[in-house]
Amino acid sequence: MTNWTEEEVQKVIAEIGKKAAAEPAFRKLCLENPAEAVKKVSGKDLPQGLKVRFVENAGAHMTFVLPDPAGPGELGEADLDKVAGGGGDTGPKVCFGYGY
């Protein structure tokens, strides 16, 4: 997050997790108004254009973050692999939830 140190981000994330686990009203705030929940813990607004989303831990479900769609005139993955002569892993990212 712009204007936030990595240490601040980690501290805020940990505090949000603790509060959301212990306080049902704060948990509801996280789900309904994440920016306000972050501000309540950190005292800072999110940087303009940054969106945060909290989701319920639903057991063994995984969240896949899809890559941005290719814009007009951009090469697709198959074309990029041909041009690059192989390729690294460009698949979707996986986020595993951690309980607090």
pLDDT tens, position by position, for the chain (100 residues)? Answer: 457 888 888 899 999 999 999 999 999 999 999 999 999 999 998 888 888 999 888 777 777 888 888 777 666 677 667 666 655 555 555 555 555 4
- Please give the Cα distance from 76 to 80 (Å, whole number): 6
The confidence score (pLDDT) of residue 4 equals 82
Please name which of 82, 96, 99, 98 lies closest in space to residue 21, comparing C-alpha atoms. Answer: 99
**Residue-level pLDDT at 100:** 43
Q: At a CB cut-off of 8 Å and minimum separation 6, what does 15 contact? A: 41
Domain definitions of the chain by residue range: 63-95
Determine the pLDDT at residue 1: 46
Task: State the pLDDT at residue 32.
Answer: 96
pLDDT of residue 74: 66
Residues 77 and 96: their CA atoms lie apart, in Å, by 25
